[in-house]
């Protein structure tokens, strides 16, 4: 963080970096950024909760993202999402109690030909059927997460 300019225009860049490093923005980071940039903590809090890229809670080991774009929607994405929710026992935006899975939705990844689509730890699973949901979860459970997505 030292190299960053002490300027509001750097705030979003810094938050991106923190999010990437820790998988969320810890409270400690907020107070440090506040001191460095001379912006109030409440202002930083306001910015980071405004954008979807940043989260205040750590994510699980595995990240499953369901595309909810229009093309995916008309091709049955809500059924896929329901199945993931049911199988994992969480709502979208939540993490399982054992910290294994986080389920998120995204408004469009622009891979509409493959819809409905789920992205599991960076891997695209296209033209999904509800009965394939199990397999995706199993596959994630059976592998150690490699750092890059």
Partner 1 sequence: MDEFNTTEIDKIREEISESQKRRKTCITVCGGTGCHAYGCLKVAQAFEDEIRNQRLQDSVDVRTTGCHGFCERGPIVVIQPDGVFYQRIKLKDIKEVIAETIVSKKIIDRLLYVDPRTQEKIVHEKNVPFYKKQKRIIFGNNGFIDPTDIKDYIALDGYKALTKILFDMTSEEVIEEIKASGLRGRGGAGFLTGKKWEICHKVNSDRKYVICNADEGDPGAYMDRSLLEGNPHSVIEGMIIGAYAIGATEGYIYVRMEYPLAVKNVTRAIDQAKNLGLLGESILGSEFGFDVHVFRGAGAFVSGEETSLMASIEGKRAFPSQRPPYPAQKGLWGKPTNINNVETWANVPLIINKGAEWYSKIGTKGSKGTKIFSLVGKINNTGLVEVPMGMTLREIINDIGGGVKDNKKFKAVQTGGPSGGCIPAEMLNLPIDFETLAKAGSMMGSGGMIVMDEDTCMVDVARYFLNFTQEESCGKCVPCRIGTRQLVEILTRITQGKGEERDIEKLEDLATTIKAGSLCGLGQTAPNPVLTTIQYFKNEYEAHIKDKSCPALVCKDLIIYHIEPDKCVGCLLCLKNCPVEAISGERKKVHVIDQDLCIKCGACLEICPPKVMAVSKYTGKKRDRILKKSSQKS
Q: Which residues bind partner 1 (CB under 8 A)?
A: 7-13, 15-16, 46-47, 50-54, 68-71, 73-76, 79, 82-83, 86, 106-115, 117, 124, 126, 129-131
Q: What is the closest distance, in whole angstroms, from the C-beta atom of residue 59 to partner 1 in the complex?
A: 14
Nearer to partner 1 among residue 100 and residue 112 (C-beta)? 112
Q: What is the closest distance, in whole angstroms, from the C-beta atom of residue 72 to partner 1 in the complex?
A: 8
Q: What is the closest distance, in whole angstroms, from the C-beta atom of residue 89 to partner 1 in the complex?
A: 13
- Specify the DSSP element, H or E, that contains 115: none
Using CA atoms, how far apart are residues 115 and 125, in angstroms rounded to an integer? 9
Nearer to partner 1 among residue 68 and residue 140 (C-beta)? 68
Instruction: Name the region of 117 (left: φ>0; alpha: ψ -120 to 50; beta: rest).
Output: beta
Using CA atoms, how far apart are residues 69 and 128, in angstroms rounded to an integer? 14
Bridge partners of residue 123, in order along the sequence: 120
């Amino acid at each position: 963080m030292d190299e960053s300019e002490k300027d509001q225009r750097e705030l979003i860049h810094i938050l991106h970096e923190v999010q990437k490093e820790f998988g969320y923005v810890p409270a400690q980071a907020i107070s440090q950024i506040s001191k460095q940039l001379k912006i109030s903590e409440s202002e930083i809090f306001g910015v980071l909760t405004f954008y979807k890229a940043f989260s205040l809670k750590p994510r699980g080991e595995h990240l499953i993202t369901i595309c909810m774009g229009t093309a995916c929607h008309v091709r049955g994405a809500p059924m896929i999402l329901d199945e993931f929710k049911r199988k994992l026992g969480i709502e979208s935006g939540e993490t399982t109690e054992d910290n294994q899975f986080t389920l998120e939705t995204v408004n469009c990844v622009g891979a509409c030909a493959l819809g409905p689509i789920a992205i599991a730890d960076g891997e695209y699973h296209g033209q999904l059927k509800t009965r394939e949901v199990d397999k995706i979860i199993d596959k994630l459970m059976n592998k150690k997460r490699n750092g890059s997505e």
